[in-house]
Amino acid sequence: ASSDPLLRVERQRLAFAEQQLAAGSAALPLLSTPTHAPHWLAPTALVQRLLAYEAARQEPDTADLSLALARCACWAPAETAAARPLLPHSAAPLAPALPWLWVVAARTRYPEAVFEELQPLADCPGVAAPWQPGWRFEPMTYSLLMVAVGKHQFLAFAATCRPNLAALAPSPHPLPHQPYLWGRA
């Protein structure tokens, strides 16, 4: 299993879609399905999809909702304005979800920024500051070799390394915003 949080989110989103198909559930689309090339989602489409889930009494997958928010075309003022009147029709409480909705919106629009306001949620990677994944290697063995190429001799150094997986430990929260959605604590 990968420790990459993005892979965990994508796996959850696709597992949710597969589960819906296998169960023969009502034909509800994934919230994050794009409406515009290359991958944008119209705000009105997102709100309408959320209302459809609510009408079907089906809770959307949190990973799918996060991706939908990240894909939302906020640069289209007419679309955003058209979506606003639809929001009061939702019975779901929004306030408990706001911290994580802000995280998704902030990271999507300003990926390199540091947000002091999000520091209380910083126990998850990439929330208050940009996430910098990387590998750290620990040398295990060393070799010194004399290599001859034609008339020339070279001294070569080789090291066998293994990744330090403890430095890449997964977040304690696979989807940290999940408990805040839909009024659940």
Q: How far apart are CA 126 and CA 114, in angstroms?
A: 9
164 found inside a domain: no
41 found inside a domain: yes
Per-residue pLDDT reduced to its tens digit, 10-58 = 788 788 888 877 877 667 888 988 998 888 888 889 888 988 888 888 8
Phi, psi of 140 (to 5 degrees): -110, -45
Residue ranges of alpha helices (H) inside 24-147 are 43-55, 62-71, 77-83, 98-109
37 found inside a domain: yes
Closest alpha carbon to 6 in 182, 111, 126:
126
47 found inside a domain: yes
Domain range for residue 40?
A: 5-129+175-183
Q: How far apart are CA 54 and CA 168, in angstroms?
A: 37
pLDDT, residue 118, reads: 83
Q: How far apart are CA 114 and CA 106, in angstroms?
A: 9
Q: For residue 157, what are the β-bridge partners?
A: 144
Total count of domains within the chain: 1
Are 8 and 16 in contact by the 8 Å Cβ rule? The answer is: no
116 found inside a domain: yes
28 found inside a domain: yes
Per-residue pLDDT reduced to its tens digit, 50-105 = 888 888 888 888 778 888 888 887 776 777 777 778 776 666 666 666 777 778 77
